[in-house]
Structure 1
Amino acid sequence: MEDLQAVFIDRDGTIGGTGHFIHPKNFTPYPFSKEALDLLKENGIKTFACTNQHRISKGQASIEDFLDEFEAFGFDDAFICPHGSTEGCECRKPSLGMLREAAEKHGLDLTKTAFIGDVGSTDMLAAHSVGATKILVLTGWGEGSLTQYRHKWAEIEPDYIAENLLEAVKWLIQQ
């Protein structure tokens, strides 16, 4: 994808962890995540973390904790929704606030971006709404997204289903 401007990457269950909340100081990326992020950099593709983190609104972590973590991982920028699902914000995936903010801040055409995540009902719906390439990884909640939760995003097909972040990135670069 030579016109690919950026890749949005979900955190929990995609970069590492279990799909459940883990504080940034205790969060461990999967063994292949650094290689995947380095591969995007080597190909001149910007990387943006895009994550719902409602525990911030509960005071269990700060936006700064996450920003520091993503900077340490080598992301170009990070977009973080700190709100709970009942707060009615515009940023919580599948809402498009974070993607729109990234597009404005970095001059992106969102149809020339990709989204890699493990949750169909948030990551894939958000990506679909802006015309981004949708890649579902099977780590984290990925398997469940394709089976018991498939009804929550039944009208959408991912562009690619990858074993993990590294396979997703390799597929993207080969397109």
Structure 2
Amino acid sequence: MKFQAVFIDRDGTIGGNGHFIHPRDFTPYPFSVEAIHELKAMGMKVFGFTNQHRISRDEAKADDFMQEFSGYGLDGAYICPHEPEHLCKCHKPAPGMLLQAAREHDLDLTKCIVIGDVGSTDMLAAAAVGATKILVKTGWGEGSLGQFRASWAHTEPDYVANNLLDAVHWIKGRFGI
């Protein structure tokens, strides 16, 4: 299968601990930029996608996140700025950000991959559009597989990776890219 794009969650997947960290203070894991570059070298578009309700509280600006993602070499980013209780169509687990990207970039989401650390948001958003699902154990990943597994019990990841770089190596090996 030829994949068109990879969507990568920010907090707990690219870096951080799963909690909000302002872009000026956020540090990617040492292997994350390398992983992103490897995906780009495979000819895939790479997008960030993240829930950032602190934007609606004026604790950060969407532009702060866009500049951060641009600095990693991503092709773009999709950011939900809404509080979870607003019930918008973009806040993961809703697939709105993925659907928007599909419209804007002419993507078949069944030929895309979602990498994230939270089963109840990242994996459910991916499942809603038929994307390949990779859960990383960094950030909230271990908890997603353990104490929070019931909140997304009806969905199975296609692969559980130790981290983002491991996920990229699985993609390369599994799909011969």
TM-score of Structure 1 vs Structure 2, range by shorter chain: over 0.9
Task: Give the drift of 1:88.
Answer: 1.5
Alignment of 1:118-157 (within 5 A): 118-157=117-156
Partner of 2:68: 69
Please list every run of 5 or more consecutive structure 2 residues that lacks an aligned counterpart in the other structure: none
Task: Give the drift of 1:148.
Answer: 0.4
Question: 1:126 aligns to what SS in structure 2?
Answer: helix
Partner of 1:106: 105
Give a deviation string over 1:23-70, Cα, whole Å, max 9, x none.
001000000001100100111111000100000000000000000000
Question: 1:86 aligns to what SS in structure 2?
Answer: helix
Question: What RMSD over aligned residues (CA atoms) do the two structures have, in Å?
Answer: 0.6
CA distance in 2, matches of 1:173, 1:108: 20
Task: Give the drift of 1:173.
Answer: 1.8
CA distance in 1, matches of 2:84, 2:77: 20
CA distance in 1, matches of 2:34, 2:95: 28
Task: Give the drift of 1:78.
Answer: 0.2
Partner of 1:33: 32
CA distance in 1, matches of 2:100, 2:156: 25
Partner of 2:15: 16
Partner of 1:95: 94
Q: Structure 1 counterpart of 2:122, which letter?
A: D
CA distance in 2, matches of 1:87, 1:153: 21
User: Where do 4+ consecutive residues of structure 1 move more than 6 Å?
Assistant: none
Please list every run of 5 or more consecutive structure 1 residues that lacks an aligned counterpart in the other structure: none
CA distance in 2, matches of 1:62, 1:111: 31
Corresponding position: 1:172 with 2:164: no
CA distance in 2, matches of 1:146, 1:167: 17
Task: Give the drift of 1:101.
Answer: 0.4
CA distance in 2, matches of 1:106, 1:169: 22
Q: Structure 2 counterpart of 1:121, which letter?
A: S
Instruction: Output the TM-score relative to the length of structure 1.
Output: 0.98
Task: Give the drift of 1:171.
Answer: 0.5
Q: Structure 2 counterpart of 1:173, which letter?
A: K
CA distance in 1, matches of 2:141, 2:87: 25
CA distance in 2, matches of 1:86, 1:125: 17
Task: Give the drift of 1:96.
Answer: 1.2
